[in-house]
Structure 1
Amino acid sequence: MSRRHFTLGCVVTTTLLSLAIATPAAATATTLADVDYAALGDSYSSGVGAPGQTGSCLRSPYGYAALWAARNNPTSFTNLTCGGAVTGDVLSRQVPQLPSGADLISITIGGNDAGFAPTVLTCQFASDAECQRTVAEAETDIGATLGGKLDNTYAAIKRKAPDAQVIVLGYPLLFDTASASCGAGMSLAKRRALNHGAQVLNDLIKARVEAAGLTFSDVRDEFAGHGICASGAYLNGLTILPPQNSFHPNRNGYTYGYLPAMIDALG
């Protein structure tokens, strides 16, 4: 997905972890005091949508990766996340910088490959029928091409850091569907279509993660009842300033959605 599309918005808790981190059988047991943590992935890992974004990758101290590191004080924290990243960016730019001795790795990836940013934007301004056609086309592309890209990405991470526990987090369903209205442009039919597309994306990611022998963390439960237009939403709707915040988690989404999902995955 192009950076131009990313600037419009990408698609696609507080409990401290006090127990030892469970690692694959090949790794030795570790505790938080000696964990080397690395974060990979796209804008949902860099913290786009939350305050304090800096640099060309738009990393925020309120993204879930930065929050986890700040609260658990691992031995090292390598933040390689970057807003707008696709699987090819993880392979060419992030994995080469990944410490081979990392014990814990987290990542969100696949939303930009799936082209969900332009899909959501099309739905914002199109008719219900056009939105549904666009989502259906995106779902077809996801099934045809994304699986192989994810397989290659996960394999590269495992080769570079073979003893790390790798947690792959999914994406939330963006929209609340409990109410009939959700502002201009987002009918109930559109919201349901887009949520279905996100479901298809998450199901594929989960399947490829399990095939790779990694850990999948589904964030949909944490975000349930907190979609765009819900009371207490964990996600930003269409945002004019700054535009990249559109359809990304807000500060509460990272704190009470993604962070607990990561903690739960660690057991």
Structure 2
Amino acid sequence: MRTPRFIAVAIAPLLAALLALLGAAPAHSAGPRYVALGDSYSAGLGAGSYDAASGACKRSTKAYPALWAAAHAPSAFDFTACSGATTTDVTDSQLGPVDAATGLVSVTVGGNDAEFSDVMTTCVLSSQAACLDRVATARTFIDGTLPGLLDHTYDAIRAKGPHAHVVVLGYPRVYQVPGDCVLGLSDASRKAIDAAADDLDDVLAKRAADHGFTFADVRSAFSAHELCSPSPWLHSVTLPVDESYHPTATGQSHGYLLPFTGAA
């Protein structure tokens, strides 16, 4: 005989409490389907422990997407971020796993479009004047051209994942100024590089907001842990050279994972 509906409703809370007392829990669905997009800052370049199958993308098990997935057990986890990726690469090559069932997407992108690697190479190997000029060129690109590129990529993410909660993560300032570095770039060059990073984050935050995405600002998490600080979470010039100016494993677990967890 079917139990009357009002009785079923009345005993449901009692059943849940009994299960809790017995050490069982009511069945619940798994976490959201999660897709991690982006460039080397999402792939985890610099953190080590790279997945050999990821090849030149150098996806790390210590990158914030992998750490978040291990802690939160999403129902599916696709890690398509790739070192060196631009906005075009994300749009053209990384969106395959994103679909209407995707619940969470993370992305870092824009730094390679602005050619920050070339900015750092110029600043390290050339004069202060050349450094400042190269930074100025990058800032012009960030302010004038990058917003349209981000719009195209963000539109593509939303089209593929219409129901996803999308978290756009920014980039840290590279240097603490003044800091304890006695050699290397001048403070003027370091300040200019940090100003360009701020420009980049400002554009990312604005474009994310205009698309209904959440922006996770990592600058406060990295504060006092930039280069020239007593405890940096970024590599300076190092070997392999492509890991230079990228987060260490601690930078991923503290500088990126914590802001992402708060925004996810």
TM over 0.5: yes
Give matches, 1:29-40, under 5 Å: 33-40=30-37
Q: 2:247 corresponds to which residue?
A: 249
Does the residue aligned with 1:216 lie in a helix, a strand or coil?
Answer: strand
Instruction: Return the alpha-carbon distance in structure 2 between the equivalents of residues 69 and 199 of structure 1.
Output: 29
Q: Which has the larger radius of gyration?
A: 2
Q: 1:212 corresponds to which residue?
A: 211
Q: 1:41 corresponds to which residue?
A: 38
Instruction: Return the alpha-carbon distance in structure 1 between the equivalents of residues 132 and 224 of structure 2.
Output: 23
More helix by share: 2
Instruction: Return the alpha-carbon distance in structure 1 between the equivalents of residues 33 and 218 of structure 2.
Output: 24
Instruction: Return the alpha-carbon distance in structure 2 between the equivalents of residues 237 and 99 of structure 1.
Output: 38
Could you report, residue by residue, the CA deviation over 1:159-199 in whole angstroms, capped at 9, with x for unpaired residues? 101000000000000111132x5254222111111000101
Give unmatched runs, 5+ long, in structure 1: 1-30
**Alpha-carbon contact 2:31-2:73 (below 8 Å) kept:** no
Instruction: Return the alpha-carbon distance in structure 1 between the equivalents of residues 244 and 65 of structure 2.
Output: 20
**Structure 1 residues 177, 32: closer, same or farther in 2, change over 3 A?**
farther
**Alpha-carbon contact 1:39-1:105 (below 8 Å) kept:** yes
Give matches, 1:133-144, under 5 Å: 133-144=133-144
**Alpha-carbon contact 1:32-1:72 (below 8 Å) kept:** no
Q: 2:112 corresponds to which residue?
A: 112
Does the residue aligned with 1:97 lie in a helix, a strand or coil?
Answer: coil
Does the residue aligned with 1:129 lie in a helix, a strand or coil?
Answer: helix
Alignment RMSD (CA, Å): 1.4
Q: 1:21 corresponds to which residue?
A: none
The ranges of structure 1 where at least 4 consecutive aligned residues each deviate by more than 4 angstroms after the TM superposition are none
Q: What is the TM-score normalised by the length of structure 1?
A: 0.84
**Alpha-carbon contact 1:101-1:163 (below 8 Å) kept:** yes
AA matched with 1:158:
R
AA matched with 1:243:
V
Q: 1:258 corresponds to which residue?
A: 256
AA matched with 1:176:
Q
% same residue: 42
Q: 2:152 corresponds to which residue?
A: 152
Q: 1:52 corresponds to which residue?
A: 49
Q: 2:129 corresponds to which residue?
A: 129
**Alpha-carbon contact 1:32-1:74 (below 8 Å) kept:** no
Instruction: Return the alpha-carbon distance in structure 1 between the equivalents of residues 112 and 262 of structure 2.
Output: 25
**Structure 1 residues 74, 193: closer, same or farther in 2, change over 3 A?**
same
**Structure 1 residues 183, 124: closer, same or farther in 2, change over 3 A?**
farther
AA matched with 2:144:
A
Could you report, residue by residue, the CA deviation over 1:58-105 in whole angstroms, capped at 9, with x for unpaired residues? 000000001100111111101011000001111111113324311000
Instruction: Return the alpha-carbon distance in structure 2 between the equivalents of residues 34 and 229 of structure 1.
Output: 39
Instruction: Return the alpha-carbon distance in structure 1 between the equivalents of residues 190 and 29 of structure 2.
Output: 41
Q: What is the TM-score normalised by the length of structure 2?
A: 0.85
Instruction: Return the alpha-carbon distance in structure 2 between the equivalents of residues 175 and 132 of structure 1.
Output: 15
Could you report, residue by residue, the CA deviation over 1:119-168 in whole angstroms, capped at 9, with x for unpaired residues? 01111122222211111111011112110010010111011010000000
Instruction: Return the alpha-carbon distance in structure 2 between the equivalents of residues 67 and 163 of structure 1.
Output: 23
Instruction: Return the alpha-carbon distance in structure 2 between the equivalents of residues 236 and 91 of structure 1.
Output: 28
Q: 2:25 corresponds to which residue?
A: none
Give unmatched runs, 5+ long, in structure 2: 1-27
